[in-house]
């Protein structure tokens, strides 16, 4: 569990550092990223529980991220949400 938290923080911190050193990370209309959350064979209730647990873990990982980037929320407020069409 702690390893997964650290991994999420490292991925988020990697993206944060890439932006800070000048990489231009942006939306592309031609790109599609698919995620396999491993929900096949689950009931709707099981899928909802798994989805909830995943986002709860992301929230726990965010606490660790803030240790590395104390002003993370200042940067987050400057980002633009990409909505699906």
- Distance CA(49)–CA(20), nearest Å, equals 35
- Distance CA(4)–CA(85), nearest Å, equals 31
* 46 pLDDT more than 80: yes
Which residue did the predictor score with more confidence, 8 or 38? Answer: 38
- Distance CA(31)–CA(13), nearest Å, equals 23
Residue 84 has a pLDDT of: 62
- Distance CA(47)–CA(52), nearest Å, equals 9
Tell me the CA distances in angstroms from 66 to 13, 25, 45, 78, one per residue in order.
Answer: 10, 21, 32, 16
* 32 pLDDT more than 80: no
């Amino acid at each position: 569990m702690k390893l997964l938290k650290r991994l999420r923080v490292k991925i988020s911190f990697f993206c944060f550092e890439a932006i800070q050193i000048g990489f231009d990370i942006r939306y592309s209309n031609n790109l599609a990223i698919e995620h396999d959350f491993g929900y096949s064979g689950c009931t709707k209730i099981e899928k909802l529980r798994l989805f909830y647990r995943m986002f709860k873990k992301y929230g726990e990982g965010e606490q660790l991220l803030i240790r590395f980037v104390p002003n993370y929320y200042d940067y987050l407020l400057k980002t633009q949400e990409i909505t699906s069409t």
